[in-house]
Structure 1
């Protein structure tokens, strides 16, 4: 499963293109099975507050993080939410995607999902 947060619609668009099981993060969501996290980057590189709250109780099942961002804000801020999540929880960064990304991004996510999440029977 992919748990995701989307503000502008870019993440939602990509998640729908992937064709994988997914759920949008809402307050109080609890997931007790392996999942990938797909988030946007807030401000100048921050983790969105809804994602911070979600990870407090769900990080132990997270097997990878994907972040969407806008490279126009500079490489020092690009998808920095993924770096912050990796630093806090040691969750591997799967992909950093500029806006809606490219087919190669989608293919890499699906391959990772099938190799990691698919192996645990989800």
Structure 2
């Protein structure tokens, strides 16, 4: 779906260790938050307020919504809060994969935050889902995370 996805080879993938852990961002709408609550994994939320922060000291997969206007408008696809979180080297270094949500109405910019972050962090884009996700998305992501951690 995205022309600029960087394929991460098996040699480049750093498999996570420890407990399955998801770090996520959700806006005031709480769409991503409601989705995360359906997953059966440990999770940490990136604060909405830019002056607040969290620090992560274990492997995790990042789940983020995509902000963009669609078409050629990809600027701002990654939420500012996610950028701030990842600007901390320690937080960035523990990221092992990315999952993104988006709106298919935006065509080829659907869930664009995923490919952008995957390429920037050199981690695999594990999955993309639309808006609130479906029960099938919940099951698929639980399966992907379990397999990714080797559990």
| Partner residue, 1:11 | 32
Number of equivalences = 118
Query: What does residue range 1-122 of structure 1 map to in structure 2 within 5 Å?
Result: 1-7=21-27, 8-26=29-47, 27-44=52-69, 45=74, 46-57=77-88, 58-74=91-107, 76-117=108-149, 119=151
**Distance (Å, rounded) in 2 between the aligned partners of 1:15 and 1:107:** 12
User: In 1, Cα distance between the equivalents of 2:128 and 2:148?
Assistant: 18
Report the alpha carbon displacement of residue 69 of structure 1 after superposing the two structures with TM. Answer: 0.7
- Which runs of 4 or more aligned residues in structure 1 lie more than 4 Å from their structure 2 counterparts after TM superposition? none
Gaps of 5+ in 2: 1-20
CA deviation vs aligned residue, 1:1-49 (integer Å, no higher than 9, x gap): 1111111222111100112111111233111101111101112341001
| Structure 1 spans left out of the alignment, 5+ residues | none
- CA offset at residue 118 of structure 1? 5.8
**Structure number with larger C-alpha Rg:** 2
Rounded to whole Å, the distance in 2 between the matches of 1:64 and 1:39 is: 11
Structure 2 Cα separation of the partners of residues 112 and 30 of structure 1 = 24
Which position in structure 1 is the counterpart of 2:11? Answer: none
More helix by share: 1
Cα RMSD of the aligned pairs, angstroms, is: 1.5
